[in-house]
Structure 1
Amino acid sequence: MPVISAPEDFHVEDLYVDLRPTFDVPLYLKCEGFNFAGSIKLKAAASMVAEAEARGELTPGSVIVESSSGNLGVALSMIAATRGYRFLCVTDTRCNLVTRQLMEAMGAQVHVVTEPHPGTGFLGARLDLVRELCASDSRYFWMNQHANPYNWMAHYRTTAPSIAKAFPELDVLFVGAGTTGTLMGCARYFKEEGLPVTVVAVDSIGSVTFGGPAGPRMIPGLGAGVRPPILDESFVDDVVHVAETDAIRDVHRLASGGFLFGGSTGTVISGATRWLRKHRDGESVTAVAISPDLGERYLDSVYRPSWVADVYGDQSPVSEPSR
């Protein structure tokens, strides 16, 4: 029976969903949303905070500041509340309302950027604001998840070893690329351990992470308007880019069977199933995809037909309910 004194001490590490009945491909989904922060970002947040404290860079008078599309902001809000820090999250208009409310409920201040940078999009505008804040007040401490090595180290130490233990004969691992912390931690682990695992990054169309052209993206979590400094492509075996409409179609397909996952999970599943059908069709293969979070925070966006129709128009993969 788990008994904890801090919310970050609890995380379900060994829950997988077999996706073959739904998608007819051999794919297991690692569920990372069962903790008090509701996402895989809790691991990175706890790692970065602990290391900053150990180095003496984060002190009782510090104000943690971070740019986040949502999930890391929730995780840092929780840890800041637990440890007595103030926290300012810089996000943008794509952040789900319930996510902003969660952060504020735990005492965080949320600043919403409403205008994207002309060259680097919303992420660039958020990062510019964070730099301005840090330059204006020495109390601000920037976690900088896009460049902080303790982001990927969290997954090198926890996520990847747990997958290797659960699936010792693993052939392929699919990981969504946002800050690339999860991707880099897992890819480095399997390569440095000498395990014959093909690591496939899954990214959103419109993301510049792997050199593609910038484009509009409305689902928070995956993709970036600025290439993450912690990314090292030499550890990645392949990359799949997924349209947001395909991601939405696949999370709705899962929801119709009772599994409610977040938009990023739809992106990862769509990319994984397409890759498996192209490269391993009909083969006996063991494959795992990582699901960053669950779906409750997306009820007003990817699970609301009117939102999907407004955003994607004629390309909408979801029909309005009949009246």
Structure 2
Amino acid sequence: MPVISTPQAFNEDDLYVDLEAMFGHSLFLKCEGFNFAGSIKLKAAGEMIEAAERDGLLTKDSILIESSSGNLGVALSMIAASKGYRFLCVTDSRCNLSTRLLMEALGSQVHVITEPGESGFLGARIDHVRARVASDERYVWLNQYANPHNHLAHYRRTAPAIARQFPDLDVLFVGAGTTGTLMGCARYFREWHRPVHIVAVDSAGSVTFGGPTGRRMIPGLGTSVRPPLLDTSYVDEVIRVEEADTIRTCHHLARRGFLFGGSTGTVVSGAMNWLARHPGDSPTAVAIAPDLGERYLETIYQTNWVQDLYGDDVLPHQQPTTPAARTAPAPSPRATASSTAGR
């Protein structure tokens, strides 16, 4: 049996859900939410902190600081508590309340940006981090957006774990946020013994792969500033998913007993759209589910929140009440696809 002494020592890395019975297309969903941080961000957080320690950047007087929409903030809060570091998470008003409370319960300080800057909320968050770092030398900014150890964590762990379980992998669907997971997996499979089609799944309104910015209310995927880690030469295709379809997919999964987060809903919606457009290929397909859904109970699983932001037709069979006793329809494949630079 596993016996651990620090919370970051445990992570379930080999759990997959077969989604064919739920959606009619074969897709294996790699579940990354079964650790004490509750998301895939535990890997990047651990890798970045360990690198900073090796480089002598962290001391007992250091204050970790990072911009996060939620999941990385929780992972850093957990590791900081375990190692005895102070941590300040700079987030914004779209961060789920339960996520903010969780970080505070772990002993972290949370600063919430309430107004977007010229580059949206992300730009405003980064500006605040830079100002803090300039004001006090004790602050250490890991900078998940440019830190190479973000994608190295997935090059060393996430991608090899998939390769072990699926030696005949044909296509991999990865959500794009900081693009750490995307770049780590894409770089690994570029060097693999067989070609793997890498499909990046982004939120509509994100500027990560170009195009105009738009309203995004679900934290996790998408950015208002192009991530420095991104190299589109490693990406074969991009699918953009509307948030309404993210919500439909999350509810469809939940009505079958699988409560996943918004990022997972986006990735699954995009993957099913792609698979529906390739009906005769029958590829071995894997998608990465970054987190679980408990932190979204007051947002994407709350009917009033959904209807206030997206209208009454997103979940047409639901009434404005708590979501527990309602049945959601199957998601409609309305995600749009676009090509990027190939291999």
TM-score normalised by the chain length of structure 1: 0.98
Is the aligned partner of 1:102 residue 2:98? no
Q: Which residue of 2 aligns with 1:261?
A: 260
Q: Which residue of 1 aligns with 2:311?
A: 313
Supply the AA of the counterpart residue of 2:243.
Answer: E
Q: Which residue of 2 aligns with 1:122?
A: 121
1:137-148, aligned counterparts within 5 Å? 137-148=136-147
| Helix, strand or coil at the partner of 1:158 | helix
Q: Which residue of 1 aligns with 2:327?
A: none
Q: How many angstroms does 1:315 deviate by?
A: 4.8
Asked if structure 2 preserves the Cα contact closer than 8 Å seen for 1:62 and 1:140, the reply is yes
Asked if structure 1 preserves the Cα contact closer than 8 Å seen for 2:307 and 2:320, the reply is no
Q: Which residue of 2 aligns with 1:171?
A: 170
Supply the AA of the counterpart residue of 2:97.
Answer: L
Q: How many angstroms does 1:192 deviate by?
A: 2.1
1:278-297, aligned counterparts within 5 Å? 278=277, 280-297=278-295
CA distance 1:322–1:232, change in 2 (3 Å): closer
Asked if structure 1 preserves the Cα contact closer than 8 Å seen for 2:169 and 2:196, the reply is yes
In structure 1, C-alpha distance between the alignment counterparts of 2:141 and 2:194, rounded to whole Å: 35
Asked if structure 2 preserves the Cα contact closer than 8 Å seen for 1:249 and 1:318, the reply is no
Q: How many angstroms does 1:322 deviate by?
A: 7.4
Q: Which residue of 2 aligns with 1:273?
A: 272
Per-residue deviation, residues 7-30 of structure 1 (Å, max 9, x unmatched): 001000000000000110110100
Per-residue deviation, residues 153-187 of structure 1 (Å, max 9, x unmatched): 00000000000000000000000000000000000
1:46-85, aligned counterparts within 5 Å? 46-85=46-85
Q: How many angstroms does 1:276 deviate by?
A: 1.2
Q: Which residue of 1 aligns with 2:92?
A: 92
Asked if structure 1 preserves the Cα contact closer than 8 Å seen for 2:32 and 2:290, the reply is yes
Instruction: Name segments (4+ residues, structure 1) moved above 6 Å.
Output: none
Q: Which residue of 2 aligns with 1:192?
A: 191
Match of 1:300 among 298, 301, 307: 298
Q: How many angstroms does 1:59 deviate by?
A: 1.3
Q: Which residue of 2 aligns with 1:229?
A: 228
Per-residue deviation, residues 249-293 of structure 1 (Å, max 9, x unmatched): 001000000000001100000000101111x21332100000000
Q: Which residue of 1 aligns with 2:208?
A: 209
| Helix, strand or coil at the partner of 2:311 | helix
In structure 2, C-alpha distance between the alignment counterparts of 1:109 and 1:291, rounded to whole Å: 28
In structure 2, C-alpha distance between the alignment counterparts of 1:241 and 1:227, rounded to whole Å: 15
Asked if structure 1 preserves the Cα contact closer than 8 Å seen for 2:70 and 2:220, the reply is yes
CA distance 1:142–1:322, change in 2 (3 Å): closer
Supply the AA of the counterpart residue of 1:8.
Answer: Q
Count matched residues. Answer: 321
Per-residue deviation, residues 120-160 of structure 1 (Å, max 9, x unmatched): 10000000000000000000000100000000000000000
Supply the AA of the counterpart residue of 1:112.
Answer: V
Supply the AA of the counterpart residue of 1:160.
Answer: A
Per-residue deviation, residues 21-70 of structure 1 (Å, max 9, x unmatched): 01101101000000000000000000000000000011111100000000
CA distance 1:214–1:315, change in 2 (3 Å): farther
In structure 1, C-alpha distance between the alignment counterparts of 2:88 and 2:320, rounded to whole Å: 42
In structure 1, C-alpha distance between the alignment counterparts of 2:282 and 2:179, rounded to whole Å: 29
Identity of aligned residues (%): 67
Supply the AA of the counterpart residue of 1:287.
Answer: A
CA distance 1:53–1:322, change in 2 (3 Å): closer
Q: Which residue of 2 aligns with 1:155?
A: 154
Q: Which residue of 1 aligns with 2:131?
A: 132
CA distance 1:34–1:318, change in 2 (3 Å): farther
In structure 1, C-alpha distance between the alignment counterparts of 2:256 and 2:311, rounded to whole Å: 26
TM-score normalised by the chain length of structure 2: 0.92
Supply the AA of the counterpart residue of 2:149.
Answer: Y
Kindly report the root-mean-square deviation, in angstroms, between the aligned alpha carbons of the 2 structures. Answer: 1.1
